Structure formats: C-alpha cells, structure tokens
Structure 1
Amino acid sequence: MLASLLLILSLPHAELGPRPGYLTDLLPEGDLKQQLSACLQQPAKRHPFSIGHRGAPLQFPEHSKASYLAAIRMGAGIVECDVTFTADKQLVCRHAQCDLHQTTDILLRPELAAKCSTPFTPASNGQAASAKCCTSDISLAEYKSLCAKMDGVNLQADNLTDYLNGSPDWRTTLYQQCSAPLSHQESIALFQQHGVMMTPELKAPEVAMPYQGDYSQQDYAQQLINEYKAAGVKPSEVWPQSFQLADIRYWLKHEPEFAKQAVFLDDRVDAEHYDPAHPEQLSPSFSELKAEGLNIIAPPLWVLVSVENGKLVPSAYAKAARAAGLQLITWSLERSGPLAAGGGWYYQSISSITSDDSMTLQLLDVLAQQVGVIGVFSDWPATTTFYANCML
C-alpha cells in the first residue's frame, strides 16, 4: 500500500477545473472556507482518498473510457469498474446487469434490440414506458459495438427518442459522443497504463445462477480476481467490493491477499427496520464482521453522519464501526444534483441543514476529519482530490 501511495503522489498534477472553487465560494464564512480558499491556487496531485465512482458520471457516460479518463485526469487515485457478465460469460464494466437500455444505445440497434429481455414499450394509458436490456442478452463482441450514453430514461415517453432522452437535467450530454463501454480486462489495462488503483464491484446477477447451468456465483467471484492475476496486478492495488456478504466470505477464504482490501458495501441500513440510533442491532455485528477478517465497510453517505444542535456530527454507526476496528469508505458524493432541496436519498440524515451545494464540502470535511473515512466515492473526483490535497 505504501509503495502504491508513493507512486500515486509522484505523478503529474491533477486537472481540477472550476468546480472546487465554485463549491468553496458557496461555503459560509469560517475556518473551512479560509483553509480551502487558500488552497485553490495550489497544484494538486492524484490521491487515493479520491475514488472515481463509475468514472466521472456527473458529465461523462458512466463506465465508459471517456468517464474513466476524466476521473484519472481529475486525480482519482482509485477508479471503479462495476462488474457483470455477458452471454458468453465475459466480464464487463456496467452498473447493473440489466441497465443497457438506459446507459447505452442498444435500443437504437435493431439487431441487438431484438435480443433484449424486454423490448421497448412506449407509455400508454397510464402505464410507464419500459424496456429491459441485459449484458447477458448479448455477447462481448456485441457489447463492445455499443455506445455509452448518460444514464437515464423518460418513463413518460410515447416514443423511443424521448425515452432515451431521460438523463437528469443537471447532468450534461455534451460528452456522450459514442464513448466506448469497456470490458473488465480493458479497464484493468487502462488503469494500469495510468497508474491508478482499482475497485471492482461484483454486481448481483439478474439471471438465475448457476448461469447456463454451469457458471456459479463462486465462478463469477473467482473470475473477477483471476483477471487481476492474469494482468499482473498486485493485491495491494485492488479493492474488490460487493453488497453480498457471501462474495466477501468467498474472497476471504479463497483469495485472502486480495480480500485484505475487500469492501463490504453495507445496504442493510436501507432496510425498513434499520434503527440509526442502534447500529449494534445489525447482524452480523461490526465485531463479528471484523472477526471474520473483514477490514473495510462502506455504507452510503447519510449513514455516517447526523445532526446535533444544527451541526454535522459522526453517527452512531460511524462510531460503532470504528470502535470494532473497521475502516470506512462511503458513497457517493455529487450524485444528488443541486442540494437546495435537501439533497435527496444520499443526504437524508442531514436534510434539515442541507440547503445548497456548499454542503458537499462541509459533509466531506466531517467525513474526513471526524468520521475518519479513508476514501470517498464521487461522481466528480476533482472535488475529493482538491479536498484531500488541501486537508489530508
């Protein structure tokens, strides 16, 4: 890890652009604004605290080569490939196995659209428009022929063109000129070329497993690790993730070196019965997870903070996880769009004090300085790179 960190910090300056300054200007007067303002003219370098969430999808089509290169240029020290598989059992970078209808132009390719699990149906008589196109519907070669697009569809559309034009208006389509989607192996090669670390997420299959009768979940989890081994990537440069504890446990047993940095994405907190005041009720407990060999747990942003007397503070979850010896990563900054209306799902525990985009940096500061997270996923890594260079 130290060698990788030294390599990262020796690389050329990151390109931060105007957004860090824009967010800093919005901050209320105080120490944080003064400290960050003083750093605005300083050069920044790549930093492992800054994790490119699907690349840089605030403006670039997620999991595309263009999105990854944007994240790398903005100084992300770690970049994410969400991993799923094609009909010929090849691993590719896609947020979900069945999101091609909303993240690529597959519906505009008649020969490939015909292979989709569910064809496009326009909105009619109160029924929303729909389609379902999966990586497992097509081969790797067919997947590679697609163009990535900004995520989103218009469920009220009565025609295909309007259906595909459904990305939120706070994202831009300026950079979606047939950006190439990548296979997992291609993402590894790209990240190696640019000297960044890698965080693949093994996505939950949306087809019955074992797939085609002979491809089990364990085969899938092992294939992900095998592709790093084949490329000569050191375990210290890989942070494999999963929402499924069974995947984490498989890596702990069969790939202990790679599992040292395995990240359990904790969505148990999104269950209806979760009580933020009593995270000790989660099962397995933090101590039990640590005893199994887990070192890193990653809940969403809102889980790690709460509001006391009008101020951001670490949550009970954050304190309990740290007390059990777990390290923390969190997701995903700058995915909510403008924060004037409370920030939505990612900010739900602090919506009462979230009134503008300055909360992006205020939250980041509490996460880094008080919660003690070791990394933050962001849809625009320049922000986390800037903060890390200035404050860490």
Structure 2
Amino acid sequence: MTRLSLTLLAILAGTTAIADTALTYGPRPAYLVSQMTDSPLKEQLLACADQIPARSDFSIGHRGAPLMFPEHTVESHVAAAQMGAGILECDVTFTADLELVCRHAQNDLHTTTNILVTPLADKCTTGFRPANGDSVASAECRTSDITLAEFQTLDPKMDAANTAATTPEEYLNGTANWRTDLYAANTTLMTHAESIALFRDLGAKFTPELKSPAVEMPFNGFSQQDYAQKLVDEYKAAGIPASDVWLQSFNLDDVLYWIENEPAFGAQAVYLMDEYETVDGYTPHDPATWPNTMEDLKAMGVNIIAPPTWMLVTLQDGKIVPSALARAAKAADLQIITWTLERSGPLANGGGWYFQGINDAITNDGAYFDLLDVLAQDVGVIGVFSDWPATTTYYANCMGL
C-alpha cells in the first residue's frame, strides 16, 4: 500500500466527527468583519458572531484551503471541510500512464512539489535553469512526465517559486509572505479517485475541473473526449449521483461533450469563462465583444457559468454593482458560480487581478465581505470558490444561504 493510501485511510478513520460536528470558522471571519468600514452589512455580520457553523453548498473550497495549506492535498481539503465548505474541488489532470490526479495544472509540479530536488527531476520537460542576469530561474515539470507511482512519491508544497534562485532548493522556497509554510510538512497528494472517497466521507459534494492538457492530444492514444469521459466514469464507479457533481471546464467543447454524452452530469456542468484571456478585443462589460451571448450558451444546453469575480461587478458612483455580464446571465436564466475569494492577500492597496475594475473602492481586508455581499445579493451567485472557505461559510450561515 502506498504512503498516500495509508495517510488517506488514517484521515478517513476520523472523518465522521468532521462531517457531522467539528465545524469551525476560526479567527479569520471575525477579523475581516472587524476591518470593514462601518455599514449596515458590518452590523449584520457582527450580529452573527455567536452563530453555530453549518455546512453550506454556497461555500466552495478552491483546491481545498490553499491560503495556508498546500493545494490539492488531503490536509487542505480536510481543513476546507472543517470550515464548512459544502463543495470541494479537485482540478484533474493525468500522468504518463493516463491516471487522473489532482493538480491545478498538468505542468505545475515544479512549483507545487519537491520534484526538482528528487531523482525525478531528470524526467521533467524542462530541467531547472538558474537565474542569470536578466533571465529568471525556471523549470517545467508535468504530471505527464511521470507515472502515477512516481507522482505518489513526491512531497507537496505551497504553490510558489523563487525566480531569483540559482539552485533548485532556492527555487522551491518562494512562498508569499502573506501565506505560510506552517502546514506544508507531511501533507499528501491525491489521485482523483482518492479525492472522491475523501470528499464523500467528509460530507462534501464535488466540483472537479478538467484541466487543459499541456501535451498535444491525443496523448498516447488518449483523446480529449476519452479524458472528459474518464473523469465522469470515476464518479460512476464510486456510485456518486450526478446531482452531487458539478463538472467544470474552461473548454466549452468539454462542457458540450458532457451535455451530449452524459446528460445527467451535463445538466449542471459548469462553463468556466476565460474569454478575457483568449479572445482579442473581448471586454467583459461590453456585450458586443462577447464570443457567445448568454442566450447562445443557454441554447447550447449550458445552465451554469463561472466567470472570475471581477467580471461580475463594476463601479457605479463609487459603489460596487453587477456588471453587464451578470445582468445578461440573469436575463438568460443562467446560474452563476464565481472564483476566487481570499486569493488576493491583504487589500489595503486594492485587490489586484481579482478586484480589477473596482480596485479604487478597495481599502481594507473587510472588502472581501463587501464584494461577497454584492455577488450574493445583487448578482445572485449560487456559490463562491474561496482559498479560505471559513469566510464564505460564515457569510452564508449569517445570510441563511
């Protein structure tokens, strides 16, 4: 039995208490409320200080709880479940022997594991290159470079790299100062099938994302359609009802494949919108530039979209309000999930990428709740991914979501 399997069994042996009773907000939600500018929302959230934590499907663990735990590890997902996340995410990719594993990208092993300081470094697509003059340190290691058995020998770490590094050891030591390495030791990678077993026993539901391959498809005879089908087949093999699974992909063709070939799963498959990166001239606040209208997507059979938070809001007279995209999705009867809260670090100087378009209104960490309230009450999202699910759980419990 592998180290991973032994660790998973040991954790699962104690999950009954986690699933049923041992939920906690921890100190962060109260801290964020204390940082808010005085408002009726702040008063409402303060009044919920004594509420008892309850699991909520509105609260979605984004790769677990990676604000402080290495993403897509057993421990990260257990932490998210303890914070009341009702839905947990395994980003899915595949190994050289076509086994599905939980990784945010097929080519992120060099920043999320210790592979560069193991003998498996020789198998990486691109080995470590030290920083030199104007050239930053780099590497590229893919799950498809190694077998499942080899993947299971790796140690996970916080997703980060020191691009000024001159050695592999230095390269691995790049965690942002607002995250932490306190919980990085002795954490455990997972296969997709193991994530299903863990999430089920934690009392959570499932939202796997089919990640775009870094290799040319078909890969060793494994087509994109085979890949999309294998994802579904692992839920079927585990006896998980389709109603508990929200499949995700940035590739609209994947979503359409599920709608046509696995309609029970396809009915709540989630189209992750990233046209802001892939279509020249696309402006999320200008419907004339959209590659597909919301009505187009609905006619294709898509029922749920998932844009990033910033695409759903804009500023009007200094106030955060729903964007044209959000209004159009509502008019087309599309449900909305969004990502990712708590991924921006401290907000004293705005919130960076996830707050673009509203950065001028962001002055303190309490703005996480201000944005969340607009997303929930005005945009009408049905779920929010968070790097620290206690925040979304606290809000959902306070608002009865």
Structures share fold, TM-score greater than 0.5: yes
Residues 163 and 143 of structure 1, relative CA distance in 2, 3 Å threshold: same
1:69 alignment partner in structure 2: 78
8 Å Cα contact 2:63/2:71 also seen in 1: yes
Alpha-carbon distance in structure 2 between the residues aligned to 1:308 and 1:274 = 21
1:38 alignment partner in structure 2: 47
Unaligned runs of 5+ in 1: 1-9
Displacement of 1:145 in angstroms is 1.0
2:259 matches 1:252:
yes
1:238 alignment partner in structure 2: 245
Alpha-carbon distance in structure 2 between the residues aligned to 1:49 and 1:186 = 24
Q: Which amino acid aligns with 1:199?
A: T
Alpha-carbon distance in structure 1 between the residues aligned to 2:152 and 2:287 = 43
Displacement of 1:177 in angstroms is 0.5
Displacement of 1:180 in angstroms is 0.8
Q: Which amino acid aligns with 2:200?
A: Q
Q: 1:363-392: per-residue Cα shift (whole Å, max 9, x none)?
A: 000000010000000000000000000013
Alpha-carbon distance in structure 2 between the residues aligned to 1:143 and 1:379 = 24
Q: Which amino acid aligns with 1:61?
A: P
DSSP 3-state at the match of 2:396: helix
* 1:330 paired residue among 338, 353, 357: 338
Q: 1:126-148: per-residue Cα shift (whole Å, max 9, x none)?
A: 21111111000111111111111
1:4 alignment partner in structure 2: none
Displacement of 1:13 in angstroms is 5.3
2:236 alignment partner in structure 1: 229
8 Å Cα contact 2:284/2:290 also seen in 1: no
Q: Which amino acid aligns with 1:170?
A: W
1:15 alignment partner in structure 2: 24
Q: Which amino acid aligns with 2:251?
A: Q
8 Å Cα contact 1:307/1:313 also seen in 2: yes
Q: 1:80-139: per-residue Cα shift (whole Å, max 9, x none)?
A: 0000000000000000000000000111112x1111111111111221111111000111
1:121 alignment partner in structure 2: 129
Alpha-carbon distance in structure 1 between the residues aligned to 2:280 and 2:225 = 29
Unaligned runs of 5+ in 2: 1-18
DSSP 3-state at the match of 2:206: strand
8 Å Cα contact 1:304/1:371 also seen in 2: yes
2:270 alignment partner in structure 1: 263
* 1:153 paired residue among 161, 166, 189: 161
Displacement of 1:167 in angstroms is 1.6
Q: Which amino acid aligns with 1:91?
A: L
Alpha-carbon distance in structure 2 between the residues aligned to 1:357 and 1:372 = 22
8 Å Cα contact 2:112/2:157 also seen in 1: yes
Displacement of 1:272 in angstroms is 4.6
Alpha-carbon distance in structure 1 between the residues aligned to 2:101 and 2:54 = 29
Dislocated runs of 4+, deviation >4 Å: none
2:216 alignment partner in structure 1: 208
Q: Which amino acid aligns with 1:294?
A: V
8 Å Cα contact 1:13/1:46 also seen in 2: no
Displacement of 1:275 in angstroms is 2.3
DSSP 3-state at the match of 1:39: coil
Displacement of 1:269 in angstroms is 2.8
Give the total of aligned pairs.
Answer: 381
2:244 matches 1:275:
no
Alpha-carbon distance in structure 2 between the residues aligned to 1:152 and 1:13 = 31
Counterparts in 2 of 1:347-362, with a 5 A limit?
347-362=355-370
Displacement of 1:278 in angstroms is 1.8
1:6 alignment partner in structure 2: none
8 Å Cα contact 1:149/1:178 also seen in 2: no
Q: Which amino acid aligns with 2:229?
A: Q
Deviates more, 1:51-60 or 1:332-341: 332-341
2:326 alignment partner in structure 1: 318
Q: 1:30-62: per-residue Cα shift (whole Å, max 9, x none)?
A: 211111001111111000000000000000000
DSSP 3-state at the match of 2:184: coil
8 Å Cα contact 1:11/1:46 also seen in 2: no
Using the size of structure 1 for normalisation, the TM-score is 0.95
Alpha-carbon distance in structure 1 between the residues aligned to 2:248 and 2:65 = 19
Deviates more, 1:20-29 or 1:275-284: 275-284
8 Å Cα contact 1:13/1:45 also seen in 2: no
8 Å Cα contact 2:36/2:364 also seen in 1: no
